[in-house]
Amino acid sequence: MSERKVSVYIATSVDGYIATENDSLDWLFRSEPEGDAGYGEFYDTVDTVIMGRRTYDWVMEQVEGKYPYEDKQSYIYTSRLEESTSDITFTSEKPSTLIDRIKKVDGGTIWLVGGGALINAFLQNNLIDEFIISIAPALIGKGIPLFKNSEMEHNLELTDVRRYGQFAQLHYSIKKAND
Protein backbone atom coordinates (compact mmCIF):
# COMPACT_ATOMS: atom_id res chain seq x y z
CA MET A 1 0.00 0.00 0.00
CA SER A 2 1.50 3.33 -1.03
CA GLU A 3 1.40 6.26 1.32
CA ARG A 4 -1.46 8.65 0.50
CA LYS A 5 -0.51 12.29 0.28
CA VAL A 6 -2.26 15.54 1.06
CA SER A 7 -1.78 17.96 -1.84
CA VAL A 8 -2.60 21.62 -2.20
CA TYR A 9 -3.19 22.32 -5.91
CA ILE A 10 -3.94 26.03 -6.13
CA ALA A 11 -3.37 29.24 -8.07
CA THR A 12 -2.01 32.48 -6.64
CA SER A 13 -1.24 35.94 -7.90
CA VAL A 14 2.44 36.81 -8.19
CA ASP A 15 2.11 38.61 -4.85
CA GLY A 16 0.78 35.47 -3.14
CA TYR A 17 -3.00 35.93 -2.95
CA ILE A 18 -5.54 33.21 -3.71
CA ALA A 19 -8.52 35.59 -3.92
CA THR A 20 -9.41 39.22 -3.41
CA GLU A 21 -10.80 40.35 -0.07
CA ASN A 22 -14.34 39.74 -1.40
CA ASP A 23 -13.49 36.21 -2.64
CA SER A 24 -13.23 37.23 -6.31
CA LEU A 25 -11.05 35.29 -8.75
CA ASP A 26 -11.62 37.65 -11.69
CA TRP A 27 -7.89 38.44 -11.75
CA LEU A 28 -7.15 34.73 -12.27
CA PHE A 29 -9.41 34.38 -15.29
CA ARG A 30 -7.97 37.40 -17.14
CA SER A 31 -5.12 35.18 -18.38
CA GLU A 32 -5.68 31.79 -19.93
CA PRO A 33 -3.17 29.12 -19.01
CA GLU A 34 -2.03 26.78 -21.75
CA GLY A 35 -4.40 23.82 -21.76
CA ASP A 36 -5.72 22.98 -18.30
CA ALA A 37 -2.37 23.72 -16.57
CA GLY A 38 -2.03 20.07 -15.56
CA TYR A 39 -5.36 20.03 -13.71
CA GLY A 40 -6.70 16.93 -15.48
CA GLU A 41 -3.53 14.95 -14.79
CA PHE A 42 -3.63 15.96 -11.11
CA TYR A 43 -7.40 15.45 -10.73
CA ASP A 44 -7.16 11.88 -12.02
CA THR A 45 -4.97 11.01 -9.00
CA VAL A 46 -7.47 12.47 -6.49
CA ASP A 47 -10.10 10.43 -4.67
CA THR A 48 -10.73 12.74 -1.69
CA VAL A 49 -11.46 16.48 -1.62
CA ILE A 50 -11.28 18.73 1.46
CA MET A 51 -12.33 22.37 1.54
CA GLY A 52 -13.57 25.07 3.85
CA ARG A 53 -17.15 26.32 3.94
CA ARG A 54 -16.46 29.65 2.17
CA THR A 55 -14.68 27.80 -0.64
CA TYR A 56 -17.56 25.31 -0.88
CA ASP A 57 -20.13 28.12 -1.03
CA TRP A 58 -18.09 29.91 -3.74
CA VAL A 59 -17.77 26.70 -5.80
CA MET A 60 -21.49 25.98 -5.50
CA GLU A 61 -22.32 29.53 -6.61
CA GLN A 62 -20.03 29.20 -9.66
CA VAL A 63 -21.55 25.89 -10.75
CA GLU A 64 -25.14 26.91 -9.94
CA GLY A 65 -25.61 24.24 -7.28
CA LYS A 66 -24.24 21.21 -9.18
CA TYR A 67 -21.36 19.94 -7.04
CA PRO A 68 -18.39 19.36 -9.41
CA TYR A 69 -16.61 16.69 -7.35
CA GLU A 70 -19.41 14.11 -7.07
CA ASP A 71 -17.02 11.36 -8.14
CA LYS A 72 -14.80 12.03 -5.09
CA GLN A 73 -15.33 11.66 -1.36
CA SER A 74 -15.58 15.21 -0.03
CA TYR A 75 -15.17 16.78 3.40
CA ILE A 76 -16.37 20.34 3.97
CA TYR A 77 -15.15 22.11 7.11
CA THR A 78 -17.96 24.10 8.70
CA SER A 79 -19.16 25.19 12.11
CA ARG A 80 -22.80 24.84 10.98
CA LEU A 81 -24.69 21.63 11.62
CA GLU A 82 -25.49 20.17 8.22
CA GLU A 83 -26.70 16.87 6.95
CA SER A 84 -24.03 14.94 5.09
CA THR A 85 -24.76 13.11 1.84
CA SER A 86 -23.23 9.97 0.35
CA ASP A 87 -20.51 12.10 -1.32
CA ILE A 88 -20.16 15.07 1.05
CA THR A 89 -19.38 14.97 4.76
CA PHE A 90 -19.70 18.24 6.66
CA THR A 91 -17.23 18.25 9.54
CA SER A 92 -15.59 20.36 12.23
CA GLU A 93 -13.23 17.65 13.49
CA LYS A 94 -9.55 18.30 14.05
CA PRO A 95 -7.63 18.14 10.76
CA SER A 96 -5.21 15.54 12.20
CA THR A 97 -8.13 13.28 13.17
CA LEU A 98 -9.66 13.51 9.70
CA ILE A 99 -6.38 12.86 7.88
CA ASP A 100 -5.51 9.92 10.14
CA ARG A 101 -8.90 8.37 9.37
CA ILE A 102 -8.67 8.98 5.60
CA LYS A 103 -5.11 7.65 5.36
CA LYS A 104 -6.16 4.36 7.00
CA VAL A 105 -8.11 3.58 3.83
CA ASP A 106 -6.26 2.73 0.63
CA GLY A 107 -6.77 5.38 -2.02
CA GLY A 108 -5.40 8.24 -4.05
CA THR A 109 -4.38 11.82 -3.49
CA ILE A 110 -6.18 13.89 -0.86
CA TRP A 111 -6.74 17.34 -2.41
CA LEU A 112 -6.87 20.19 0.07
CA VAL A 113 -8.66 22.70 -2.17
CA GLY A 114 -8.72 25.68 0.21
CA GLY A 115 -9.32 28.24 1.47
CA GLY A 116 -6.44 30.01 3.10
CA ALA A 117 -7.48 29.50 6.74
CA LEU A 118 -7.94 25.76 6.25
CA ILE A 119 -4.63 25.41 4.40
CA ASN A 120 -2.98 27.26 7.29
CA ALA A 121 -4.58 24.93 9.85
CA PHE A 122 -3.35 21.86 7.97
CA LEU A 123 0.11 23.39 7.56
CA GLN A 124 0.32 24.21 11.28
CA ASN A 125 -0.40 20.54 12.00
CA ASN A 126 2.19 19.26 9.48
CA LEU A 127 -0.51 17.53 7.45
CA ILE A 128 0.40 18.77 3.95
CA ASP A 129 2.76 16.68 1.84
CA GLU A 130 3.03 18.80 -1.30
CA PHE A 131 2.10 22.10 -2.90
CA ILE A 132 1.39 22.52 -6.59
CA ILE A 133 1.16 26.28 -7.00
CA SER A 134 0.26 27.90 -10.32
CA ILE A 135 1.37 31.52 -10.34
CA ALA A 136 -0.89 33.72 -12.45
CA PRO A 137 0.50 36.79 -14.21
CA ALA A 138 -1.25 39.28 -11.91
CA LEU A 139 -0.49 41.51 -8.94
CA ILE A 140 -3.67 42.16 -6.97
CA GLY A 141 -2.19 44.13 -4.05
CA LYS A 142 -4.31 42.70 -1.25
CA GLY A 143 -6.64 39.84 -0.58
CA ILE A 144 -6.62 36.39 0.95
CA PRO A 145 -3.01 35.18 1.19
CA LEU A 146 -2.05 31.60 0.45
CA PHE A 147 0.23 31.62 3.47
CA LYS A 148 -0.72 33.40 6.68
CA ASN A 149 1.81 34.57 9.23
CA SER A 150 3.04 31.56 11.13
CA GLU A 151 5.45 30.71 13.89
CA MET A 152 6.39 27.49 12.10
CA GLU A 153 9.03 26.97 9.46
CA HIS A 154 8.72 24.35 6.74
CA ASN A 155 11.50 23.15 4.50
CA LEU A 156 10.42 22.52 0.93
CA GLU A 157 11.98 20.62 -1.92
CA LEU A 158 11.33 21.83 -5.46
CA THR A 159 10.43 18.71 -7.42
CA ASP A 160 9.18 20.19 -10.70
CA VAL A 161 8.67 23.48 -12.55
CA ARG A 162 6.27 23.74 -15.48
CA ARG A 163 5.13 26.54 -17.73
CA TYR A 164 1.57 26.78 -19.03
CA GLY A 165 1.46 29.86 -21.24
CA GLN A 166 1.87 32.84 -18.92
CA PHE A 167 1.45 30.67 -15.79
CA ALA A 168 4.41 29.21 -13.88
CA GLN A 169 3.67 26.08 -11.87
CA LEU A 170 5.90 25.10 -8.96
CA HIS A 171 5.76 21.63 -7.40
CA TYR A 172 7.11 21.43 -3.86
CA SER A 173 7.18 18.53 -1.46
CA ILE A 174 7.37 19.35 2.22
CA LYS A 175 10.42 17.86 3.87
CA LYS A 176 9.29 16.15 7.06
CA ALA A 177 11.51 16.21 10.17
CA ASN A 178 12.62 12.62 9.54
CA ASP A 179 13.50 13.21 5.84
> pLDDT at position 151, please?
74
In angstroms, rounded to a whole number, what is the distance separating the alpha carbons of residues 44 and 109?
9
Taking the CA of residue 74 as centre, how many other CA atoms within 13 Å lie in the half-sphere pointing to its CB?
21
pLDDT band at 1 (very low <50, low <70, confident <90, very high): very low
Chain centroid to CA 34:
20
Question: Has residue 128 got a pLDDT over 70?
Answer: yes
Cα–Cα separations (whole angstroms), residue 44 to 30, 111, 128, 134: 26, 11, 19, 18
Res. 142 pLDDT band, cuts 50 70 90: very high
State pTM to two decimals.
Answer: 0.91
Determine the Cα–Cα distance for residues 38 and 28; give it in Å rounded to an integer.
16
In this predicted model, which residue has the larger pLDDT, 132 or 24? 132
H or E stretch covering 96: helix 95-103
Weakest mean pLDDT among 24-28, 48-52, 96-100? 24-28
- Return the sign of the alpha-carbon dihedral for residues 8, 9, 15, 17: negative
Q: What is the mean pLDDT of residues 33-55?
A: 93
